[in-house]
Amino acid sequence: MADGRYAMLEGPKHFAVAHGSIPVPGEGEARVRVHDCGVCGSDLKMWAGTHAFLRPPLQIGHEIYGTVEELGGGTNGIQTGMPVVVFPPIGCGSCFHCVGGQPQLCADMRFIGGQIPGGLAEHVIVPENNLIVVPDGVRDHQRVLIEPLGVGVHAVARGRVEPGETAVVLGAGAIGLFTALVARERGLERVLVGELSAARRGRAEALGLETFDPASTPVAQAVADRIGPVGADVVFECVGSEETIGAALAATRKGGRAVVVGNAPATVQIDGLALQRGDRSLIGVLMYDLADLIEGMELLAGGLVDELPEEALVQPFALDDVGAAFAAAKDGTLGAVRAVVRP
């Protein structure tokens, strides 16, 4: 019987590449041949053993682009040979949130690449309803970016931005970069990006974004100097630390919105007076809706990141080098927006 290869996270920072039988899809499922699987910040927390509730052993990877290889008898129009990306959350299907099209908020939500085997493998089994067909207009190397771009689309929607407003984005990794680009697409008057890494600032600037280094200019000072002393209309925190969540709230004008997009720690201390007495909103973001990924595809097809060459967007790693992909994504040596494993 033919077999396939996959990477199992056996313990913190320890992958083992193994062989197993090629999985067979059941009714309503599809087997996808994985072309690209991106390495996300939540993947890094699982890899390090610091995720809030998911611990090794795990077969992770949820930013999946591939081709439908075999169907298990579904009827939703998916066909073999189609290029697809994966919508990772799977809910119970019947609760308030699932019925409302937000399975990521289901109390029983599981996701592909977490509780369900993910894309660090040659093949992955996915419910057909969790597959999105990629249009030809999205360049092949950009298709793995659809999922993280969906986070940016959802974050900007949660931030309720309006044309002419000002925004600050803290962090210019993939999620922060995409959040800033989507905010600009929404007609914001000014989008200011704070990022410690010179390389990440350079990529943001190549896409026409204004940046600053929080190590040399504190966030509050940079916002006061460049936007105004009252603060920004909306601030997107895309790092996931107590310090940057506090900085986001402090940089938000009275009556404005601070949006937590990064993977927040379980406990965060904030300035309650700034929140309440400033009439500010503190908004959380979890994943995306299906429509957000579809909108992300449309933005990519429209040339959202075409100013950056392929090597600045994705840095590919072989499955045997999966540990190096995660290490580079973590330690700042990555030379692109996203580390991508190509099984």
**1-5, 56-60, 334-338: range with lowest mean pLDDT:** 1-5
Does 54 lie in the same domain as 36? yes
CB neighbourhood size of 51 (10 A): 18
Is residue 35, in this structure, part of any structural domain at all? yes
**DSSP label at residue 81:** T
CB neighbourhood size of 145 (10 A): 29
Is residue 144, in this structure, part of any structural domain at all? no
Q: pLDDT band at 53, cuts 50/70/90?
A: confident
Does 127 lie in the same domain as 10? yes
How high is the pLDDT of residue 189?
87
Domain count for the chain, please give it. 2
How high is the pLDDT of residue 297?
97
Does 170 lie in the same domain as 127? no
Does 180 lie in the same domain as 59? no
The mean pLDDT value for 282-291 works out to 97
Measured between its terminal Cα atoms, the distance across the chain in Å is 20
Is residue 235 within 8 A of residue 258, CB to CB? The reply is: yes
Q: pLDDT band at 51, cuts 50/70/90?
A: confident
How high is the pLDDT of residue 160?
97
- Which residues, in sequence order, are bridge partners of residue 342? 318
How high is the pLDDT of residue 333?
87
Is residue 289, in this structure, part of any structural domain at all? no
Specify the CATH number for the domain of residue 326. 3.90.180.10
CB neighbourhood size of 12 (10 A): 12
**Residue keyed to tokens 């993947």:** 43
Is residue 114 within 8 A of residue 62, CB to CB? The reply is: yes
Is residue 121, in this structure, part of any structural domain at all? yes
**32-36, 54-58, 71-75, 133-137: range with lowest mean pLDDT:** 71-75
Is the pLDDT confidence value at 33 over 80? yes
The mean pLDDT value for 46-61 works out to 92
pTM beyond 0.85: the answer is: yes
Closest C-alpha among 323, 311, 319 to residue 141 = 311
Does 229 lie in the same domain as 109? no
Sign of the torsion formed by the C-alpha atoms of 195, 197, 200 and 205: positive
Is the pLDDT confidence value at 75 over 80? no
How high is the pLDDT of residue 73?
82
Residues 117 and 23: their CA atoms lie apart, in Å, by 11
Sign of the torsion formed by the C-alpha atoms of 16, 20, 26 and 29: positive
How high is the pLDDT of residue 265?
87
DSSP string, 236-293: EE-S--HHHHHHHHHHEEEEEEEEE-S---S-----HHHHHTTT-EEEE--S--HHHH
Specify the CATH number for the domain of residue 191. 3.40.50.720
Is the pLDDT confidence value at 2 over 80? no
Per-residue model confidence as pLDDT tens digits over 249-272: 999 999 999 999 998 988 999 999
Does 324 lie in the same domain as 220? no
Would you call 198 exposed, middle or buried from its count of C-beta atoms within 10 A (0-12, 13-18, 19+)? exposed
Closest C-alpha among 319, 317, 320, 313 to residue 340 = 317
Residues 140 and 134: their CA atoms lie apart, in Å, by 10
Does 134 lie in the same domain as 12? yes
Residues 29 and 112: their CA atoms lie apart, in Å, by 13
Is residue 105 within 8 A of residue 24, CB to CB? The reply is: no
Q: pLDDT band at 1, cuts 50/70/90?
A: very low
Per-residue model confidence as pLDDT tens digits over 302-332: 999 999 999 999 999 999 999 999 999 998 8
Domain range enclosing 214: 149-284
Is residue 294, in this structure, part of any structural domain at all? no
Would you call 96 exposed, middle or buried from its count of C-beta atoms within 10 A (0-12, 13-18, 19+)? exposed
Residues 187 and 161: their CA atoms lie apart, in Å, by 9
What average pLDDT does the structure give for the chain?
96
Does 82 lie in the same domain as 11? yes
* Tokens standing for residue 31: 């087997």
With residue 44 as reference, give the H or E element that holds it: helix 41-48
Does 55 lie in the same domain as 120? yes
Does 163 lie in the same domain as 129? no
The mean pLDDT value for 136-155 works out to 97
Is residue 10, in this structure, part of any structural domain at all? yes
Does 134 lie in the same domain as 27? yes
